[in-house]
Amino acid sequence: QVQLVESGGGLVRGGGSLRLSCTASASIFAVMGWYRQTPGKQREMVASITVTGASIYSDRVKGRFAISMDNAKNTVYLQMNSLKPEDTADYYCLGTNHHGNFWGQGTQVTVSS
């Protein structure tokens, strides 16, 4: 059973930075990404990256967040800069391969104003 384990969430002041990490216990994913969700809203894509390094971002985070992948460590990172209170959410890691989609358990990010 593949597990994705996120870390790096926490409380930060507006304008601050955090780096999220997500490590897969096994398997190599063709695509890995970060999603976020707030109560009562649908989970939304934040950023995603392919094993070849191609990445896409939500317009809400473009220019502030950066996604990267360390294939040797089966780890994907999300560097979040210039954080805003509206970035407050539970952040989830997603890994996709030929077996399907695998989600992490989530890590909470809270940005104070």
Contact 32, 94 (CB under 8 A): yes
Which pLDDT value is given to residue 32? Answer: 94
**Mean pLDDT across 19-46:** 93
| Whether pLDDT at 99 is above 90 | no
| Alpha carbon distance 15, 50 (integer Å) | 28
Q: Which residue has the tokens 């926490």?
A: 10
The three-class DSSP label of residue 53 is coil
| Whether pLDDT at 28 is above 80 | no
Which pLDDT value is given to residue 48? Answer: 98
| Alpha carbon distance 101, 99 (integer Å) | 7
Question: What is the number of alpha carbons within 13 Å of residue 20 lying toward its C-beta?
Answer: 34
